[in-house]
Amino acid sequence: MAGTDAVVHRESAHARTYLMCPPEYFAVDYSINPWMTPGVPVDTALAMSQWQQLRSAFTSLGHTVRTIDAEPGLPDMVFAANGATVIDGKVLGSAFRFAQRAPEAAAYLRWFRRNGYQTVVPPRSVNEGEGDIVFAGSVVFAGHGFRSDVAAAGEVQELFGLPVISVMLVDPRFYHLDTALCVLDRDTAAYYPAAFDDAGAAALASQFAELIEVKDEDAEVLGLNAISDGRNVVLPAQARGLAAQLAAAGFTPVAVDVSEFLKAGGGPKCCTLELR
C-alpha cells in the first residue's frame, strides 16, 4: 500500500478513557515471566517519572485518565490492563494464574463497584484481563497458552455478547496476547507472527484487512504492547522500526520510554486499562 493511500484511509482518533495505577510499590520481587529477574534493581523514581510521562501522553492526545490507588505488597498492580475487561460499561473481573498477583483481582473489582459500574462480574476461569482479552470492535480475541484459560473465551462471549476468537500463544516471552498483537483500527493490526501457532495467525489474517508484521528487534522490546486510538499509537520508544512501519501505514507513532517496566515484562498497554 502506498504511503499516501495509507494516510487517506485512516480513521480519525477517538477519545478514550483509561484507568491507570501509579507504580508506588513497583518492584521485581519474583519471577512469573521470562522478563523478570528478581534482584535486578528497579529505579522507583524513574518508574514514576516514566509512568507520569505515559499518562501525559494520553491526556495530550485528548484522552481521559482515571487512577486507582496502588496497594502495598502488590508490585505488579501498576499493570492495570490485567485488572479487568471493560466493554459497553460491563466489567469482567480477572483471576490470575500466579498467587503473587491474585489479590490484585479484588482490588480492581472494588474500584469498579465503588465507581458506579452496575454490571461487575467475577470470573469463573483464569483470565488476566486485557492482557489476553483484546477488543477489536466487532469481535474479541482471547489469548491462551500461558496465563489465561481457553475457557475464559466463553465467559467473554456470554457477558459482552460479541463473537470471540481464541488464539494460542506459543512463545513464553510473549506470555500475554497484548505483547504480540496491537489492534490499530477496525481494519488494521500489528502482530508478531512467531508468537502464534498457525491457526492463530490464520485467525488474525481472516479478521484484519491489513496486518503489519513486526520484526524481532521490535517485538523483543515489547513494541507491540502499545495502544491505538485509531490514529495515534502510543508505543515504547525503543521500538523504532515499528514506529517507522506505523508512520508508513498512516498512523502517528507517539514514543514513550517505559524501560523500567520492561524489567517486569510490561509496556504502555500493560499499564493501561481502557474503560469502554
Catalytic residues: 176, 270
**CA–CA dist 44, 169 (Å, integer):** 31
- Of 264, 208, 251, the closest CA to residue 61 belongs to 251
Sheet holding 140-144, edge to edge: 133-135, 140-144, 164-168
* 163 touches 138 (CB < 8 A): yes
Cell numbers placing 53: 510521562
Residue 92 φ then ψ, to 5°: -105, 120
